[in-house]
Structure 1
Amino acid sequence: MKILFYDTKSYDRESFEKFLPQYPQLELEFMETELSPRTARLSQGYDAICAFVNSDVGTRTIEALHRSNVRLILMRCAGFNNVDVDTAARLGITIMRVPGYSPEAVAEHAMALALTVNRHMHKAYVKVRENDFSLNSLMGFNFYQKTAGIIGTGKIGAAMARICRGFGMRILAYDVYRNPSLDFVEYVDLDTLLKASDLVSLHCPLTDATYHLINRDTIREMKEGVILVNTSRGGLVKTEDLIEGIRARKFFGVGLDVYEEENRNVFEDRSDDIMEHSTTARLLSFPNVMITSHQGFFTNEALDAISSVTLQNAMDFLNGGGNGNMV
């Protein structure tokens, strides 16, 4: 099986090539080119392509892949909201993903963001680098005995709940399905969670029902001085309403590893660009906002899991059998 990898960095190649000797039936080709309707034609002669969370795997792309006789789309990530699943099914293209590569990696990053904006670590680092050892503007608050609100209690949300428990926090959760392993969590409705939580952390998938879950109305329900963290999907938060809430001093801090505008920025070096009309630039202008570049997954353990599961997905497909990772 020949597989074309789109939008790869050096760490992607190194990670996949480490596991490749275990799969001699697979032949991999890596490109830095992003997947789009225009670049999908490069897949001619390949049996499968591999895409990532920020790839364009919409209708036109899938139709172009079909014309190139691609039979399998491997998503080296958990989410697939950027994939036109219906068109792929209609054209007979199988989609496989990596549903749980390292929940702890993302959850730990979520807590890192929460701690950073709470204790102003980003500001403290800059101050001390400039020989300013004063404590002005660095006041935070204890997480101990405060309330954490976890929205979405799948594998990542559950890992975040366990971390919050370790901090001695009371934990509220909101999800359509209750996680039976979280017997220390109190499930409540969304309004109750928002009104009671000192820390709100988003860990739910992006669907029609959760799109812009955090908006002007839900922000209004939150406690004054709340910390909001999003390591799930940018579309969960309506950016304009978030900015309005920050300006109204609703938030003690905001930590974002994902945001609506990220597809143009994520994993790219734009340090020489002037982002004149960028909502990302507006968010970065606030001293209580911390943004990272979709790096929650970025640990050695997570990359190893992504590589091994993705290659095993390809082998299972090649051998004519499915597995639980089919979309």
Structure 2
Amino acid sequence: MSKQPVFLVTGGDLAAQALALLQDHEVVYAGKTPSEDDIVALCRQHDPVAIIVRYSQVGAAAMDAAPSLKVISKHGSGTDTIDKVAAAARGIRVVAAVGANAAAVAEQALALLLACAKSVVPLNTRMRAGHWDKATHKSVELEGRTVGVVGLGAIGLRFARMADAMGMRVLGFDPYAKELPAHVERVDLDTLWRASDAISLHCPLTADNARLVNARTLAVCKPGVILVNTARGGLVDEAALLEAVRSGQVSAAGLDSFAVEPMTAPHPFHGEARIVLSPHIGGVTADAYVKMGVAAARNALSVLQGDLR
């Protein structure tokens, strides 16, 4: 009996519904926290026809170690951990589960925005220490405020819809978005920085927009702006953001992604009560886990079967 073609998963598991689609393949797991060298070694050992990317980088070395590799499928929407130039040069397709985690990430962005505006974390800490700040604390009311949304794909548009439902004015920037819903006002980035009371990042990380949020852009924002990032940590100059929070130019920040992950302790953000942190779990829900796994498996199979061009 011939050996089944291999799917390599750069993680420790895959949803049962996704595995059911791969019953004609052998599925090999790289473990919960694989390094790039681990991926290369597994490619050399198993010569997969497809890689489903959950964690770690997949670069040219891994591709060269797997001569049978035809497709690299992202378990999610962001493909910045895959060397797309190297893949294109080798005729390997790169596909993503676009929209599969849109609800989960947009909800996380809204949760972080609300946590910042309503001081949820510091008030919880104060109450547990015995304080009752009703007479002295005033939170931010978001109705009537302006939110700038950078990136208007599936996640950004879903977040924009939530913000509109709360009575916020929504400004949007995305050079690739075509038709936008009536509740999103298309603006250039300079207008977005200057006019927004809160800014939420939902764009992919590219060589062109690395450190998009930096000392210069933060300086032109409204004093007391709120920043939310559930996209990629590399979009933000972390040192500049820390300085802006300390000075009050940024009143609060809600961050789900970071320049270096996992974040190691101690980190400068740890001492800032007005920075709300979560460990890049915006897309990590039970529902999104299934949606992303199924989409990643289907996308890869479609390429292998010649249906996705």
* TM-score, length of structure 2 as denominator length: 0.90
> Letter of the aligned partner of 1:214 in structure 2?
V
Distance 1:184 1:26 in 2: 46
For 2:51, the equivalent position in structure 1 comes to 49
For 1:286, the equivalent position in structure 2 comes to 272
Distance 2:188 2:20 in 1: 49
1:207-230 per-residue CA deviation (whole Å, 9 max, x = no partner) reads 122111111110011000110001
**253-262 vs 169-178, which deviates more?**
169-178
For 1:319, the equivalent position in structure 2 comes to 305
Three-state SS of the structure 2 residue aligned to 1:37 is helix
Distance 1:258 1:137 in 2: 32
Three-state SS of the structure 1 residue aligned to 2:37 is coil
> Letter of the aligned partner of 2:40 in structure 1?
A
For 2:208, the equivalent position in structure 1 comes to 209
Contact 2:21–2:297 (Cα < 8 Å) also in 1: no
- Percent identity among equivalent residues? 31
1:124-146 per-residue CA deviation (whole Å, 9 max, x = no partner) reads 22333344333477431100111
Unaligned runs of 5+ in 2: none
Distance 1:178 1:22 in 2: 32
For 1:64, the equivalent position in structure 2 comes to 65
Contact 2:147–2:169 (Cα < 8 Å) also in 1: yes
> Letter of the aligned partner of 1:198 in structure 2?
D
Q: How does 1:167-316 map to 2 (within 5 A)?
A: 167-262=166-261, 264-265=262-263, 275-276=265-266, 281-316=267-302
Contact 2:72–2:300 (Cα < 8 Å) also in 1: no
> Letter of the aligned partner of 2:115 in structure 1?
T
Distance 1:178 1:88 in 2: 26
> Letter of the aligned partner of 1:48 in structure 2?
A
For residue 5 of structure 1, the aligned residue among 9, 13, 29 is 9
How far 1:179 sits from its partner (Å)?
Answer: 4.4
Matched, 1:40 2:40: yes
Distance 2:126 2:7 in 1: 48
Distance 1:49 1:152 in 2: 27
Three-state SS of the structure 2 residue aligned to 1:115 is helix
Q: How does 1:91-106 map to 2 (within 5 A)?
A: 91-106=90-105
How far 1:149 sits from its partner (Å)?
Answer: 0.9
How far 1:178 sits from its partner (Å)?
Answer: 3.9
Aligned length: 302
Contact 2:21–2:298 (Cα < 8 Å) also in 1: no
How far 1:235 sits from its partner (Å)?
Answer: 0.9
Q: 1:320 to 1:153 in 2, by over 3 A?
A: closer
Q: 1:128 to 1:247 in 2, by over 3 A?
A: closer
Distance 1:137 1:205 in 2: 40
> Letter of the aligned partner of 2:107 in structure 1?
E
> Letter of the aligned partner of 1:50 in structure 2?
I
1:143-182 per-residue CA deviation (whole Å, 9 max, x = no partner) reads 0111111111111111111111011011111221344241
Q: How does 1:140-159 map to 2 (within 5 A)?
A: 140-159=139-158
1:254-309 per-residue CA deviation (whole Å, 9 max, x = no partner) reads 011111122x34xxxx7xxxx35xxxx10121110001111111122211211111
For 1:109, the equivalent position in structure 2 comes to 108
Unaligned runs of 5+ in 1: none
**38-47 vs 108-117, which deviates more?**
38-47
Superposition CA RMSD, Å: 2.1
Contact 2:149–2:172 (Cα < 8 Å) also in 1: yes
Q: 1:139 to 1:64 in 2, by over 3 A?
A: farther
Q: 1:56 to 1:180 in 2, by over 3 A?
A: same
